[in-house]
Amino acid sequence: MSDAQTGTTEVRHIKHEAVPTRFARGWHCIGLEKDFKDGKPHSIEAFGTKLVVWADSQGELKVLDGYCRHMGGDLSQGTVKGDEVACPFHDWRWGGDGRCKQIPYSRRVPLRARTRTWHAMTQDGMVFVWHDHEGNPPIAEQAIPAIEGGPSDPTWTDWAWAQTVVDTNCREIIDNVVDMAHFFYVHHAFPTYFKNTFEGHTATQLQKGVNRDDMRPAEVAIGAPKRLGNTSVATYHGPSFMIDDLIYHYEHGDTRTVLINCHYPIDENSFVLMYGISMQRPEVEDDDPAAAEALAAKMVATVRLGFEQDVEIWRNKTRIDNPLLCEEDGPVYQVRRWYEQFYVDVADVRAEMTDRFEFELDTAKPIEAWQREVDENVARRAAEAAEAAALQPQDA
Partner 1 sequence: MGVRPDNRLADAPMHPVACASCAGRVLVRKASWHQTSVQWTDEAQAACTSWSPGSAVLGFPPVCDRLRTSIADAVLDGTLPVVGDEQ
Q: Binding residues for partner 1, per CB under 8 A?
A: 1-2, 15, 17, 20, 148-149, 193, 195, 197, 204, 206, 208, 231-233, 235, 243, 245, 247, 256, 321-329, 331-334, 336-337, 340, 343-344, 351, 355-363, 365, 367, 370-371, 373-374, 377-378
Nearer to Fe ion, 84 or 245 (CB): 245
User: Are the beta carbons of 202 and 177 closer than 8 angstroms?
Assistant: no
Q: Considering the complex, what minimum distance in angstroms separates the CB of residue 300 from ligand FES? A: 39
Nearer to ligand FES, 67 or 159 (CB): 67
Instruction: Establish if 207 lies at the interface with Fe ion (CB under 5 A).
Output: no
Instruction: Establish if 71 lies at the interface with ligand FES (CB under 6 A).
Output: yes
Instruction: Establish if 72 lies at the interface with ligand FES (CB under 6 A).
Output: yes
Strands (E), 88-188: 93-94, 100-102, 120-123, 126-131, 160-166
* Residue 117 CA, distance from chain mean position: 25
User: Are the beta carbons of 84 and 76 closer than 8 angstroms?
Assistant: no
230 phi and psi, to 5 degrees? Answer: -155, 160
Q: What CA–CA distance (Å, rounded) separates 6 from 2?
A: 6
User: Are the beta carbons of 249 and 227 closer than 8 angstroms?
Assistant: yes
* Residue 200 CA, distance from chain mean position: 15
267 phi and psi, to 5 degrees? Answer: -150, -165
Instruction: Establish if 90 lies at the interface with ligand FES (CB under 6 A).
Output: yes
Instruction: Establish if 70 lies at the interface with ligand FES (CB under 6 A).
Output: yes
Site for ligand FES (CB under 6 A): which residue of 31, 41, 66, 73?
A: 73
Binding site partner of 73, from ligand FES, partner 1, Fe ion, none, Cβ cut-off 5-8 A by kind: ligand FES
Exposed / middle / buried, residue 342 (Cβ in 10 Å: 0-12, 13-18, 19+): buried
Please compute Rg for the chain using Cα positions: 27
Binding site partner of 57, from Fe ion, partner 1, ligand FES, none, Cβ cut-off 5-8 A by kind: none
Q: Of 18-26, 69-77, 158-166, 323-331, which part binds ligand FES (CB under 6 A)?
A: 69-77
Instruction: Establish if 378 lies at the interface with ligand FES (CB under 6 A).
Output: no
Q: Considering the complex, what minimum distance in angstroms separates the CB of residue 300 from Fe ion? A: 16
- Rounded (to 5) percent helix, strand, coil in the chain: 25, 35, 40
Report the run of H or E that residue 315 belongs to, with start and end: helix 291-316
User: Are the beta carbons of 254 and 229 closer than 8 angstroms?
Assistant: no
Q: Considering the complex, what minimum distance in angstroms separates the CB of residue 298 from Fe ion? A: 19
Q: Considering the complex, what minimum distance in angstroms separates the CB of residue 304 from Fe ion? A: 12
Q: Which residues pair with 273 in a beta bridge?
A: 164, 263
Site for Fe ion (CB under 5 A): which residue of 124, 245, 310, 340?
A: 310
Binding site partner of 70, from partner 1, ligand FES, Fe ion, none, Cβ cut-off 5-8 A by kind: ligand FES
What string marks each residue from 16 to 55 as x (binds ligand FES by CB under 6 A) or -?
A: ----------------------------------------
Q: Considering the complex, what minimum distance in angstroms separates the CB of residue 176 from Fe ion? A: 5
User: Residue 10: how many CB atoms within 10 A of its CB?
Assistant: 8
Nearer to Fe ion, 176 or 205 (CB): 176
Q: Considering the complex, what minimum distance in angstroms separates the CB of residue 101 from ligand FES? A: 12
